[in-house]
Structure 1
Amino acid sequence: MNFITISGRTLMSVLEPGEISPDELRSAGVTDDTVIRVNRQGDIEVRRRAEWDVIGGLIGDFENRLKHATGLEWAPD
């Protein structure tokens, strides 16, 4: 599976209405420095101590938003 890895801060900057809210992200333990990865389907995964947790998803044109915000392409896990 391919991902773009980002920080919690970057994730919050690319959110759009109808997606997971900043308050929901904070409730899931996301901070500015949290390691996040997003797959091609838009699933948002948070890095925990020994695993990744899916906490929500992105919709719409999230691929272009992520690539524009990070300058990154999809990379295999």
Structure 2
Amino acid sequence: MSKIRGAIVVNTDRCKGCQLCIVACPKNVIALTQKKVNVHGYPYVEPIRPEDCIGCASCGIVCPDGCITVYKKRMED
């Protein structure tokens, strides 16, 4: 039986730090950076627990600026 794992990639230059993806993530994979900002001066989100991502794509769906790409990978037992 294989298990699906996910991975997210955030376009940090486009992210405005609205935090909608943080609220949408059922596994608390994403967090807002505390001391970093992007080229526009916004704090941005980043995966802090990438190993817990299940690839549900909730974060990418709610992102108003389309900053998050979600990948799914099948992991063998």
Question: What range describes the TM-score normalised by the shorter chain of this pair?
Answer: 0.3 to 0.5
Instruction: Compute the TM-score of the two structures, normalised by the length of structure 1.
Output: 0.32
**Structure in which a larger fraction of residues adopt helix:** 1
Considering Cα pairs closer than 8 Å and 6+ residues apart, tell me whether 1 or 2 has the greater RCO: 2
Give the structure with higher Rg (CA): 2
